[in-house]
Chains A and B, each alone.
Chain A
Amino acid sequence: MTKIVVNGQQREVKASPDTPLLYVLRNELGVMGVKFGCGLAQCGACSVLLGDEEVRACVTPVAAVEGKPVTTVDGLPARWAEKKGLAPDPQRLHPVQQAWVDEQVPQCGICQFGMMIKVTELLEANPKPTDADIREALTSSGPSPHLCRCGSYAAILEGAHRAAKLMAEGGAA
């Protein structure tokens, strides 16, 4: 039995310790805001935050995340509420998610789970990123570039800047 923390909750996992976190989250724990892309850590669709660091759930054995909290896109609103000491509100999104809605960032959207995780990692460390910072974060800071096949990169850039603004203002309205 592996004990892990996912989106603020203690969970006990029956899957064998070598099982990639991706399959544990989706199949055993019902946490669906993490998507299968390549299984090779080449695309970033399955990104989650491990503590404050973006990792690829498709190649991370569940045993490797014991002791550090896991955050998926599903858990971003609670992560923000906790950081800001806000009362729970099911309508409130994390500023990065809200920016993605405001700017209508996604085309098909399958890559955006990882994109939002990576931008959250960036903005928590660097609240006022430049275009170059955002491009660098989504291209060369992790195991591979975060890939978008639809070509939403221009929208992502606008979304990331808007998210930074929302975070600086204290969050989404």
Chain B
Amino acid sequence: MSATLDFHGARLSRRAFIGTGGALAVAVSLPVKSAAAAAPASLDAATPASWIELKADGTVTIRTGKCDFGQSSVNTAYRQIVAEELCVPLSAMTTVITGDTDRTPDGGGTFWLLGYVQNLRKVAAYMREAALELAAGKLGVDRKALSVKDGVISGGGKAISYADLVKGQDLKLTIPVEGELTSPMGLTVKGEPPMKPVSEYTIIGKPSANPMTRPKVSGEAVWVGDVKLPGMLHARAIHPATLGSKLVKAGKLDGAQFPGARLVTIGNLLAVVSPDEWEAVQAAQAVAAETRWSDWQGLPGHEGLADHLRSKADWTTFPSRNGAANKGEPEKVPAAREHKASYFLPYHKHAPISPMVTLADYRPDGSVTLHTLSQNPQHLRHMIAKMLSVGEDKVVVRTYPGSGHYGRSNGGSAGSEDEAVLLSRELGRPVRVQWMRADEMQWTTQSSCALADIAIKLDKDGRIAGYAAEHRVPPMQDDRLVGAILAGLPVIDSPAPVTKDLFQNGVNEMQDIWVYANVPAVREKAMSTWQIGEKESPIAVGLRDHSMRTPIQFQQNFPRELAMSEAAMLAGKDALQFRLDHVTEPRFKAIIEKLRAESGWDSRPSPAPGARASGQGVVKGRGMSIMLRDNGYWACAAHVAVTPETGEVKVERMTMVADVGIVINPLQLRRQIQAGCLMGVSQALHEEVSFDQSAITAADWASYPILTMAEAPEIKVVFETNLAAGNYGQGSESANALAGPAIAAAVLDATGKPVRRLPLRPEYVKEALA
């Protein structure tokens, strides 16, 4: 071949023949501006590293800045998608390198994974095309006559494997890329290489086990908390008494009782370190008990939260957003009957089982390596560099398996990272900061609370004539490093209507896509405000928020779907048929009908025969919800038993039906949906972040209970691949959001009375039934 070959916007070059080994590596071609900005301590843009390596032994390595926190997609779906596009067996995909800023090329966050995977898919397509071009030259066969199967290119009576093609050569494929590596969204692969037709898929759609499962259950996997370095110190943070307190006087560390421990104070950030972890724990407790913080009372308290959202919060500074499907004037539509109600959701915690932990190694040359868990390591790197006022080239983030935390770190930080860096810098030794349960509950972000007003007008035939909704939700994303805030060091902007920090824009969109296309007049409005207590807090903390699973859509879908069930009851119609009557999309019609069959839905209006809101014994009901997310169509049914006298709600079974388009891995998707649904049941039954005027009071699993195994309902999951839809859909996120409104609708059916809030704890249910 000639020295270089250009095709589909990519460039293939052979730099040299090499003695042994050999590889076709995909390099990153960045525009000059970005190349300068993209930090050298990551992959040096001038010495491009690989997204994908086809090796001379026939194996393939892929690298992605995304991580895995349990849904396994980067280890399962990503391997399948690349293998499919490259036309190699899945068994050739031996290595997946994830999330280390110095070993992966792309950045971005661990969310929308099957959208982001288009990067690797395109790279694989570029690579396959490059290999075909190379083979045409080598075999002396016209390119058009060649095809690939199982890693072997053949045509014109000749054949050569990928492995033989790259053997002894150092080939570089250069592809077009745009974006900023350490921005929240990272890099995007450009160009339109030819993609393998969906009809030829042989690997996508097949069940495939997660290769990480065995090392995890055998105990061999190195988790984030397991990393050790020589000379490492164990640290415990002593966080302020309230979300607005400043340090008045640090407690004294008793050197006789804790001879190995040392107290470190950096602004309002206080910590105890020791070579002995148990000493650090005990000494930190002792110091904390003696430490004085300034008083602060700037929160409404969880019992006053709904009133605060209604009458005190400022909803005018942040521009509101209209729904994309708004049409007509629902307020002017005449109504035979009208359903009008307000709905409330409390704050939820991400509540990982294991609290956050980071080991940081700050070195004398001013560079630092973090061993941590993060869903956005490159943006964490950006924020750590900002905190230290150093170049991003000084910061490396290495990530490890850790406790799932459902979106909390998708902008980089989940907690502890910055504190470990600052303590390591202060002490000149590697420092491991392990948050305790209370730090994890009280000093992390929460999923936003919500207040919604819904008005549904019915015509004389019981069909919806007009739908109006106003959704009030605090901003969904605050990625600021809380340790840096306490230390008084630079952080990105706090959520605001206007900001240069992409993800910190606090304006809410209508995330819950309108699905009832038959409704003639629709007005949906999404509103936002400042984070509760942040402006009042002298240290700018307050109740920080962060996206969790279906962010904002969760908060908007619950009121919409419960209101739809109530409107159906008002219309005297079956809740399932009522929805069918108002959707037009055939994919929705199909899954709603499937839900009817698979859930054993008894078609009738609510309330259920025998429904009652008082008295002894159990009443039963069923409810449903639907959602459109990432071109995936979802329907959910819940069957519950309610004891009106006590307000106790037992979820007996859940049915989830989905059309997510092309299913990559049915084995993993089934597990994702089951688990996501059960997390949703947990939120629906139990979860509310309690707080007083000063601090979060939910500090452990007793004060923030979640679902137990005994309470877990039976779950039925039904889906089929839909090749015609042409896209890869999402897994557990939607399942998580659908449970709440379906369960609440089932309580409505069982009792005849709505409970327009979560959680459905006995005291709240009893109050609503009274």
A interface residue numbers (CB < 8 A to B): 15-16, 19-20, 23, 26-27, 32-33, 35-40, 42-43, 45, 72-74, 77, 93, 97, 100-101, 104-113, 116, 134-136, 138-140, 144-157
Let me know if A153 and B707 touch, CB within 8 A: yes
The contact string, 1 if C-beta is below 8 Å from chain A, for chain B 686-721, is 000000000000001110001111111001000000
The contact string, 1 if C-beta is below 8 Å from chain A, for chain B 468-483, is 0000000000000000
Most chain B beta-carbon contacts within 10 A, residue among A20, A45, A110, A150:
A150
Which DSSP category, helix, strand, loop or mixed, fits chain A's interface? loop
Name the CB-closest residue of B to A73: B219
Name the segment of B27-35, B160-168, B296-304, B399-407 touching the other chain.
B399-407
How many residues of B are counted as interface, with CB atoms below 8 angstroms from the partner's CB atoms?
57
Task: Check A139/B434 contact, CB under 8 A, given A36-B225, A42-B702.
Answer: no
Let me know if A38 and B700 touch, CB within 8 A: yes
Return the 4 tightest CB-CB contacts between A and B, nearest first.
A151-B678, A108-B70, A33-B219, A108-B404
Let me know if A136 and B710 touch, CB within 8 A: yes
In the complex, what's the smallest C-beta–C-beta distance from A164 to chain B, in angstroms? 16
Let me know if A40 and B701 touch, CB within 8 A: yes
Let me know if B277 and A35 touch, CB within 8 A: no
Let me know if B710 and A139 touch, CB within 8 A: yes
Most chain A beta-carbon contacts within 10 A, residue among B217, B355, B672:
B217
- B415-454 residues with Cβ-Cβ distance < 8 A to A are 434, 436-437
Let me know if A40 and B437 touch, CB within 8 A: yes
Let me know if B354 and A97 touch, CB within 8 A: no
Let me know if B712 and A106 touch, CB within 8 A: no
Q: Which residues of B contact A152 (CB under 8 A)?
A: 671, 674-675, 678
Let me know if B217 and A109 touch, CB within 8 A: yes
In the complex, B182 has a CB within 8 A of chain A: no
In the complex, what's the smallest C-beta–C-beta distance from B505 to chain A, in angstroms? 29
Q: How many A-B residue pairs have CB under 8 A?
A: 172
In the complex, what's the smallest C-beta–C-beta distance from B353 to chain A, in angstroms? 5
Q: Which residues of A contact B210 (CB under 8 A)?
A: 104
What CA separation (Å) do A53 and B357 show in the bound complex?
29
Let me know if A145 and B217 touch, CB within 8 A: no
B668's partner among A74, A104, A135, A149 (CB-CB below 8 A) is A104
In the complex, what's the smallest C-beta–C-beta distance from B664 to chain A, in angstroms? 14
Task: Check A106/B216 contact, CB under 8 A, given A36-B225, A154-B678.
Answer: yes
In the complex, B682 has a CB within 8 A of chain A: yes
Let me know if A154 and B712 touch, CB within 8 A: yes
Let me know if B404 and A107 touch, CB within 8 A: yes
Let me know if B353 and A147 touch, CB within 8 A: yes
A97's partner among B217, B226, B281, B680 (CB-CB below 8 A) is B217
In the complex, what's the smallest C-beta–C-beta distance from A148 to chain B, in angstroms? 7
Let me know if A113 and B219 touch, CB within 8 A: yes
In the complex, what's the smallest C-beta–C-beta distance from A113 to chain B, in angstroms? 7
Task: Check A27/B217 contact, CB under 8 A, given A39-B437, A109-B401.
Answer: no
Q: Which residues of B contact A20 (CB under 8 A)?
A: 278
Q: Which residues of B contact A23 (CB under 8 A)?
A: 277-278
What CA separation (Å) do A35 and B223 show in the bound complex?
9
Q: Which residues of A contact B216 (CB under 8 A)?
A: 106, 109, 112
19 A-B pairs in the complex with CB atoms less than 8 angstroms apart:
A16-B278, A32-B222, A32-B226, A38-B355, A43-B353, A74-B219, A101-B209, A108-B401, A109-B401, A110-B404, A134-B709, A139-B709, A139-B711, A145-B708, A147-B353, A149-B353, A149-B679, A152-B675, A153-B707
In the complex, B352 has a CB within 8 A of chain A: yes
In the complex, what's the smallest C-beta–C-beta distance from A6 to chain B, in angstroms? 13
Let me know if A110 and B352 touch, CB within 8 A: yes
13 additional contacts, CB 8 Å, given A109-B401, A146-B709, A147-B353?
A: A32-B223, A36-B355, A40-B701, A107-B71, A107-B404, A107-B672, A109-B70, A110-B352, A110-B353, A135-B709, A151-B676, A151-B678, A154-B675
What CA separation (Å) do A142 and B676 show in the bound complex?
26
Q: Which residues of A contact B217 (CB under 8 A)?
A: 73, 93, 97, 100-101, 105-106, 109, 112, 116
Task: Check A147/B708 contact, CB under 8 A, given A32-B226, A43-B353, A106-B216.
Answer: yes
Task: Check A144/B701 contact, CB under 8 A, given A101-B213, A151-B679, A156-B709.
Answer: yes
The contact string, 1 if C-beta is below 8 Å from chain A, for chain B 194-224, is 0000000000000001100110111100110
Q: Which residues of A contact B281 (CB under 8 A)?
A: 39
Q: Which residues of A contact B637 (CB under 8 A)?
A: none
Let me know if B674 and A151 touch, CB within 8 A: yes
In the complex, what's the smallest C-beta–C-beta distance from A47 to chain B, in angstroms? 12
Name the CB-closest residue of A to B736: A151
Let me know if A37 and B682 touch, CB within 8 A: no
In the complex, B145 has a CB within 8 A of chain A: no
In the complex, B387 has a CB within 8 A of chain A: no
Q: Which residues of B contact A151 (CB under 8 A)?
A: 674-682, 707, 712
In the complex, what's the smallest C-beta–C-beta distance from B180 to chain A, in angstroms? 29
In the complex, B517 has a CB within 8 A of chain A: no
In the complex, what's the smallest C-beta–C-beta distance from A10 to chain B, in angstroms? 20
- B647-696 residues with Cβ-Cβ distance < 8 A to A are 667-668, 671-672, 674-682
A15's partner among B278, B676, B678 (CB-CB below 8 A) is B278
Q: Which residues of A contact B402 (CB under 8 A)?
A: 108, 110
In the complex, B738 has a CB within 8 A of chain A: no
Q: Which residues of B contact A145 (CB under 8 A)?
A: 708-710
Most chain B beta-carbon contacts within 10 A, residue among A45, A116, A152:
A152
What CA separation (Å) do A38 and B351 show in the bound complex?
11
What CA separation (Å) do A112 and B675 show in the bound complex?
14
Name the CB-closest residue of B to A155: B671
Let me know if A104 and B209 touch, CB within 8 A: yes
Q: Which residues of B contact A72 (CB under 8 A)?
A: 219
In the complex, B69 has a CB within 8 A of chain A: yes
What CA separation (Å) do A152 and B210 show in the bound complex?
15
What CA separation (Å) do A150 and B68 show in the bound complex?
13
In the complex, what's the smallest C-beta–C-beta distance from A72 to chain B, in angstroms? 7
What CA separation (Å) do A5 and B672 show in the bound complex?
39
